[in-house]
Amino acid sequence: MTSAAEPAAESAPIVIDTVAGVRSAVAGWRDAGHRVALVPTMGSLHAGHLALVARAAELADRVIVSVFVNPLQFGPSEDFARYPRDLSADRALLAGVEGAAGAVTVFAPTVDEMYPSGPVETRVTAGDVGATFEGAARPGHFDGVLTVVAKLLGIVTPDVVLFGEKDAQQVFLVSRMVRELDIATTVEVVETVRDDDGLALSSRNAYLDDAARAVARSIPAAITAAREAAAGGVDAALAAARATLDAGSVDVDYVTLVDASTFMAVGSEHRGEVRMLVAARVSGTRLIDTAAFSVG
């Protein structure tokens, strides 16, 4: 059954909170010949999410923004309980996305709606790459991500699904899942949106106080330093990034350069396109950032 809550404002998108409701809405749109996009989120929307929604509205007639804090992708000591949730604020932000007026519907199911029999027994496994970098720090995280994304793709059956570049490992794993499981959708990746100080937008930035934020700025600065040193090769780029992070007293988890096609760290002799990945803890908050560039 679909429950369409009262819009917070005239133009705020309606909210559907059931799987059956979304299926029925999508069926109606398909009958009308509409293309459908999905933007999966955990809510606490920021300009990065809104850029995904704006791009989705360029690619499709109807945009489903899922808002679901997925328990499967959080470890027992992680921030599932305190993860920021504010559906009214999310809807108000969505109402203001230029070019998307009238196109957006929110899908905000409860945990019981998504997992009516408790944690699902059937899971998508993310493989070896899913156990590296973010997956090494957060065991099981990517199995949880892929499982919920597979469910959302099964529910919405979108023509296109959109993700932010910042979560590069998630993008790699979702794209591989879509390819390997023959899921009939296209993955569209949207460039990272940054604040004026360079920090990549993230819902978890809300946890940072001014002092932590000053430390966090070293993360994008490290990527800039690596890019500037990249003509000197892999080791020079990595050394520049590490020096910037050390100077900013950042508690680094990893800083690495990977081959975007395999997501494996490249060796010193590598030349050409790479993706830099940085993960760090700043005042207890885990932050990640990334950029692609060429090493000489």
Q: Is 270 a catalytic residue?
A: no
259 is in an annotated binding site: no
Q: Tokens 């998508």 identify what position?
A: 124
Does 148 sit near ligand PAF (CB under 6 A)? yes
154 is in an annotated binding site: no
45 is in an annotated binding site: yes
Among 16-24, 142-150, 154-162, 193-201, the segment contacting ligand PAF (CB under 6 A): 142-150
27 contact partners, CB below 8 Å, separation of at least 6: none
164 is in an annotated binding site: yes
Residue 45 CB, nearest distance to ligand PAF (Å)?
10
Between 190 and 245, whose beta carbon lies closer to ligand PAF?
A: 190
Q: Tokens 């999905």 identify what position?
A: 38
Binding mask 24-43 for ligand PAF (x = CB under 6 A): ----------------xxx-
Does 149 sit near ligand PAF (CB under 6 A)? yes
Cβ burial, residue 72 (10 Å; 0-12/13-18/19+) = buried
Residue 104 amino acid letter: V
Cβ burial, residue 57 (10 Å; 0-12/13-18/19+) = buried
- Interface residue with ligand PAF among 19, 45, 145, 178 (CB under 6 A) is 145
Does 219 sit near ligand PAF (CB under 6 A)? no
Between the alpha carbon of residue 100 and those of residues 11, 82, 92, 221, the distances in Å are 10, 30, 13, 33
Does 230 sit near ligand PAF (CB under 6 A)? no
Among 145-153, 222-230, 264-272, 277-285, the segment contacting ligand PAF (CB under 6 A): 145-153
**Sequence-ordered strand ranges (E) for the chain:** 15-16, 36-41, 62-67, 104-107, 160-164, 186-190, 251-259, 264-265, 272-282, 285-295
Does 130 sit near ligand PAF (CB under 6 A)? no
Q: How far apart are CA 51 and CA 38, in angstroms?
A: 13
Between 193 and 238, whose beta carbon lies closer to ligand PAF?
A: 193
Residue 164 CB, nearest distance to ligand PAF (Å)?
7
Pseudo-torsion of CA 187, 188, 189, 195, nearest 10°?
Answer: -130
Q: Tokens 């499982």 identify what position?
A: 147
Catalytic residue among 34, 49, 141, 270: 49
Binding residues for beta-alanine, as ranges, are 73
Catalytic residues: 49
Binding residues, as ranges, are 42-49, 73, 164-167, 170, 193, 201-204
Binding residues for ATP, as ranges, are 42-49, 164-167, 193, 201-204
